[in-house]
């Protein structure tokens, strides 16, 4: 699931922080400019804040 930082903060404000585990799949490539990249064996298109599987509308990851 991809969520905005504000959604995570809102959720955590209502929880006991001792019972939360956050897993991130953040890409080190997040700072790249828009374009086509090879991320391991996967070719992706970076458009704005998202990576898409090349030539598709399938989200590969967040670039934010």
pLDDT tens for 1-57 read: 677 888 888 888 877 777 777 777 666 677 789 999 988 888 999 998 888 999 999
Burial of 44 (0-12, 13-18, 19+ CB in 10 A): buried
Question: In the chain, where are the structural domains located?
Answer: 5-62
Residue 38, both tokens: 């090879």
**How crowded is residue 12: how many other Cβ atoms within 10 Å of its Cβ?**
12
Provide the pLDDT for residue 27. Answer: 66
Provide the pLDDT for residue 55. Answer: 96
- What span, in angstroms and rounded, lies between the C-alpha atoms of 63 and 47? 9
Tokens 């790249």 label which residue? 32
pTM of the predicted model as reported, rounded to 2 decimal places: 0.54
- What span, in angstroms and rounded, lies between the C-alpha atoms of 8 and 35? 28
Provide the pLDDT for residue 58. Answer: 93
């Amino acid at each position: 699931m991809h969520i905005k930082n504000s959604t995570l903060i809102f959720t955590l404000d209502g929880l006991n922080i001792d019972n939360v585990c956050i897993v991130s799949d953040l890409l080190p490539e997040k700072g790249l400019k828009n374009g086509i990249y090879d991320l391991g064996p996967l070719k992706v298109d970076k458009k704005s804040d998202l990576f898409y599987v090349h030539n598709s509308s399938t989200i590969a990851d967040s670039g934010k």
